[in-house]
Amino acid sequence: MTLGAALPGLKGLILQTAWAAGDGEETATPEIEAQEELEQDLEGVDYLCKFCRRKITTASERIVVNGQHTHMCANPYGLLFEVGCFARASGCLTTGVPTLEFTWFPGYAWSIALCASCANHMGWHYTAQPPSEFYGLILDHLVQGSNSG
Ligand SMILES: [Zn+2]
């Protein structure tokens, strides 16, 4: 119940339409692919915390989960969130005990990922067994910056 208090709107966020597309065989865990299908013109681009400009991750950490890098999610108020999947997010701190409850990615337990500098909510850290992990980050909470200059 503390999770519910800390994360208003979380339940609504499970209305992730992309995940429900497949029918027929049950897939235990999402498929995680390399970023080869992602746009290459973002190479060298950093993703910064929108609130304090700390570097959270980079474009080279982008991955494809269940066929998509970005996943659209709606909260109970009808707002859409665009969540991007990243292999790593060195600028995040994770908090809370991982839970499978309401997870968007079957088999992956989530915990909360916060900006390590300002503690704003950046997204979620997903972990599974056998060991596998990725971050789902709220793209609207990130801004792009270049690390080349
Ligand atoms: Zn921040």
Provide the residues around ligand 1 (an ion) whose CB is within 5 A: 49, 51-52, 54, 115, 117-118
Asked if 49 and 56 touch (Cβ cutoff 8 Å), the reply is yes
Query: What does the DSSP 8-state code read for residue 26?
Result: P
Portion of the chain with pLDDT greater than 90, in percent: 54
Alpha carbon of 92 to ligand 1 centroid (Å) = 9
Alpha carbon of 68 to ligand 1 centroid (Å) = 26
Distance of alpha carbon 6 from alpha carbon 1, whole angstroms: 9
Asked if 116 and 54 touch (Cβ cutoff 8 Å), the reply is yes
The string over 93-128, giving b where at least 16 C-beta atoms fall within 10 Å of a residue's C-beta and e elsewhere, is ebebebeeeebbbeebbbebbbbbeeeebbbbbbeb
pLDDT tens digits, 11-38: 434 333 334 334 444 556 778 776 666 7
The predicted pLDDT at position 35 comes to 61
This prediction's pTM? 0.74
Please say if the pLDDT value at position 109 is more than 90.
Answer: yes
User: What are the residue boundaries of the structural domains of the chain, listed by start?
Assistant: 1-40, 45-146
Alpha carbon of 91 to ligand 1 centroid (Å) = 9
pLDDT tens digits, 79-103: 778 999 999 999 999 999 999 887 8
Alpha carbon of 33 to ligand 1 centroid (Å) = 28
Alpha carbon of 147 to ligand 1 centroid (Å) = 17
Alpha carbon of 48 to ligand 1 centroid (Å) = 8
According to CATH, the superfamily of the domain at 45-146 is Peptide methionine sulfoxide reductase. (2.170.150.20)
Alpha carbon of 36 to ligand 1 centroid (Å) = 29
Alpha carbon of 111 to ligand 1 centroid (Å) = 18
Alpha carbon of 26 to ligand 1 centroid (Å) = 38
